[in-house]
Chain A
Amino acid sequence: AQKVTQAQTEISVVEKEDVTLDCVYETRDTTYYLFWYKQPPSGELVFLIRRNSFDEQNEISGRYSWNFQKSTSSFNFTITASQVVDSAVYFCALSELNRDDKIIFGKGTRLHILP
């Protein structure tokens, strides 16, 4: 069965600290996609990254980095030198190639960056 688990419900860190958001997924498929989305207080969904199951290279985009480990079924997200504007709910998600592309979301991690 497909499942995405974000064990951290809420995290608070002080500005400029690094923070890692954990994501563990379950799937029976060998071909799948993993995503991270940001939902700021305004409510819209902001796409951050999509990674396919055959690409285990870590990715860095500015202050954001992602660590994909197939061996542990994890796709963790790190924000370096956090800023107040990073405060949001972050969702990890999974899409299987043979499931009509519907996206399965985790319950989200609410991140508070304190000034």
Chain B
Amino acid sequence: NAGVMQNPRHLVRRRGQEARLRCSPMKGHSHVYWYRQLPEEGLKFMVYLQKENIIDESGMPKERFSAEFPKEGPSILRIQQVVRGDSAAYFCASSPTSGGHNEQFFGPGTRLTVL
């Protein structure tokens, strides 16, 4: 059973471009969480999605950031018009259900660098 997959592992964008980060959860997992790790910081929750639904986006910046988890395909975190402050590692995690009984499995992360 493959783990959580994220691609690309490294992404370089110039200011003003768009960044698309992909997360394929573990097989059988229908819950996806995105976290951001700024340099020298801990991870901070951004958004929690189930298939086709955003459940909690309380950690998402109000502008330029969006996330989706379609019925088919990976979850996508999209950052429009990137700025230098968006440079960070973005981790996704998946779990089979919610309710606190299941561990979240983390992907290897995508390291975004904005020039």
Residues in A lying within 8 Å of B, measured CB to CB: 4, 31-33, 37, 43-45, 47, 50, 91, 93, 95-98, 100-108
Q: Which 10 A-B pairs have the closest CB atoms?
A: A105-B42, A97-B100, A102-B45, A45-B106, A107-B42, A105-B43, A44-B108, A100-B56, A101-B98, A108-B42
Query: Within 8 Å CB of A4, what residues of B?
Result: 42
**B108 touching A101, Cβ below 8 Å:** no
Q: Closest A residue to B46 by CB, please name it.
A: A102
Q: A100-B48, A103-B45 are in contact. List 10 more A-B contacts (CB 8 A).
A: A43-B109, A44-B109, A47-B106, A91-B42, A97-B99, A100-B56, A101-B99, A102-B33, A102-B45, A105-B35
Query: Within 8 Å CB of B100, what residues of A?
Result: 31-33, 95-98, 101
Contact residue range for chain B?
20 to 34
With contacts A33-B100, A50-B103, A100-B98 taken as known, whether A106 is within 8 angstroms of B109 at the C-beta atoms is no
Our pick among A32, A101, A107, A108 for the contact of B95 (Cβ within 8 Å) is: A101
Query: Within 8 Å CB of A97, what residues of B?
Result: 99-100
Query: Within 8 Å CB of A104, what residues of B?
Result: 45
Query: Within 8 Å CB of A44, what residues of B?
Result: 106, 108-109
Q: Closest B residue to A29 by CB, please name it.
A: B100
Our pick among B33, B44, B111 for the contact of A43 (Cβ within 8 Å) is: B111
Query: Within 8 Å CB of A106, what residues of B?
Result: 42
Binary contact track B80-108/A, C-beta < 8 Å → 1, others 0: 00000000010101010011101111101
Instruction: Report B41 CB to chain A, min CB distance, Å.
Output: 6
Complex Cα–Cα for A36 and B65 (A)? 29
Q: Closest B residue to A39 by CB, please name it.
A: B37
Complex Cα–Cα for A105 and B103 (A)? 15
Complex Cα–Cα for A43 and B105 (A)? 15
